[in-house]
Amino acid sequence: MTGAVAALRGFGPVFALLFALQFISMGAMEMSGPFWPIHIKALSPSENVFSLAAIGVYICPMLGVSLTSAFWGRMGDRFGNRMMMVRALAGLAITQVLIALAPDVWTILALRFLQGACAGYIAPAQAYGVQVTGGRDRASLFAWLQVATNVGSLGGAFLGGLILDALPFAAVNLTAGVICALCAAIAWASLPAPLHGSAQGAGGAGPARAAALSEAPRLRLSVPGLLSLIGLLLASRMVLQVPFSLYMAEVYGTQHWITGLSYGLLAFGFVVAAPVWARFFAGRPPSFVLGWSVLIAAGCLAVTGLAGSTRVIGLFAALYFAWGLLLGGTTPALLALISAATRGDRQGSVLGLAQSCQQGASIVGIIAGVVATQRFGLEVAFPLVAGLYGLSSLVALGLWLKSRTPTMNKGELF
């Protein structure tokens, strides 16, 4: 805890507020996350409608985000990422209230899509963080913002369960809407506009601007390649999103709390490891990060392969935690490379595009997991995940080879 506080203080009080806003708002949005099937089941007129809507209620907001994040990123570069954060939080608040009043599943699905299309909070928060910190230590910056998201998600799900035990499902959404509205008001009143205009931001003036402009060509990085790698890694992770509880029930016959605990260990491992990976990557060249990405993807292949073959629940849970530890070294570090390879005045556009790619990859992963397990059985879930990680490792290897420079030290491994 002391290390976390010191890290947040190291970025300054503005980032501490940004961290808190991300933690609270993302927690509010996840209050309803685990319980949507219960609500959808109660509103569905048939089993077929329930089967479709139970998947759609998760995919619709992802689809909305994937279609609009790049646009909102460009708007952030033009009008300021702080304004885009306020807009996203206000959109989340309004749609949460409307969802609470929705009378049927089709209205809920439409509003969930609209919610994703109006949201896009994370990308401008990342771009704003780059601005207010002057672009320094991006790996740690993105890691801590990702930690805020994951911890908020875990706490939000718990709080949502407490509310649902005492009140109707609509109360969960109404509470989330009020929280997001308060976050929007706090962001508007308390987050300062970056210096020298919102379009350029802190990274758009003086030495930081010059460094950003000169750094991108020198890194010799393929941003589309990095986006592809992030997408593959996320698709691999999301394959088990829908079939996980069914797999646990069929293979282990566990109680629900054990299933929930095992699933939460993935996020817990990420939270524990992401700041550690960020410190490990700090100041390292891109080739070093990409070299470790090859090893991390290969490690995920091995861990998920073992998790799919074991029938010992304790070992399975430990492997799930180890998987989360490995994932802590993936998305934040790769997003930091993308940000570092991008001019300061295009941070919002590129990070918005990255968010679109992540959501699109998550949708592909979810659909692949559902289709594969329904067609071939639950036993193919983990081999599919491991196979995708094998492909991710090959893509990372190609990016590593491409990133190596003629001036690399002979003794440098990555």
66-84: pLDDT as tens digits: 888 888 888 888 888 888 8
Distance between CA 155 and CA 164 in Å, rounded?
14
Averaged confidence pLDDT in the chain: 82
260 pLDDT more than 80? no
CATH code of 12-403, in short, is 1.20.1250.20
- State whether residue 406 is helix, strand or coil: coil
- What ranges do the domains of the chain cover? 12-403
Ranges of H-type helices in 220-345: 223-238, 244-251, 256-281, 286-309, 313-327, 331-340
Residue 214's pLDDT band, with cuts at 50, 70 and 90, is very low
pLDDT above 70 covers a percentage of the chain that reads 87
Amino acid sitting at position 389: Y
Rg of the chain on CA atoms, in Å: 21
pLDDT of residue 229: 95
- Top mean-pLDDT range of 86-100, 119-133, 264-278: 86-100
pLDDT of residue 383: 96
pLDDT of residue 212: 39
403 CB-near residues (< 8 Å, 6+ apart): 219, 220, 221, 286, 287, 290
Q: What is the DSSP string of 106-137?
A: HHHHHHHHHHHHH---HHHHHHHHHHHTTT-S
186 pLDDT more than 90? yes
Give the closest residue to 61 by CA, choosing from 370, 355, 371, 388: 355
Average pLDDT of the segment spanning 312-332: 93
* pTM, to two decimals: 0.75
372 pLDDT more than 80? yes
Give the closest residue to 23 by CA, choosing from 163, 140, 173, 180: 180
Distance between CA 362 and CA 341 in Å, rounded?
24
Q: Which comes out higher in pLDDT, residue 106 or 248? A: 106
Give the closest residue to 91 by CA, choosing from 128, 124, 131: 124
104 CB-near residues (< 8 Å, 6+ apart): 43
Give the closest residue to 52 by CA, choosing from 347, 374, 348: 374
Amino acid sitting at position 266: L
DSSP class of 405: -
Distance between CA 357 and CA 360 in Å, rounded?
5
Buried b (16+ CB within 10 A) or exposed e, 42-56: ebbeeeebbeebbbb
Give the closest residue to 85 by CA, choosing from 147, 5, 143, 14: 14
Query: To 10 degrees, what angle do helices 122-132 and 138-166 make?
Result: 140
148 CB-near residues (< 8 Å, 6+ apart): 19, 20, 22, 23, 26
pLDDT of residue 230: 94
CB atoms within 10 A of CB 59: 22
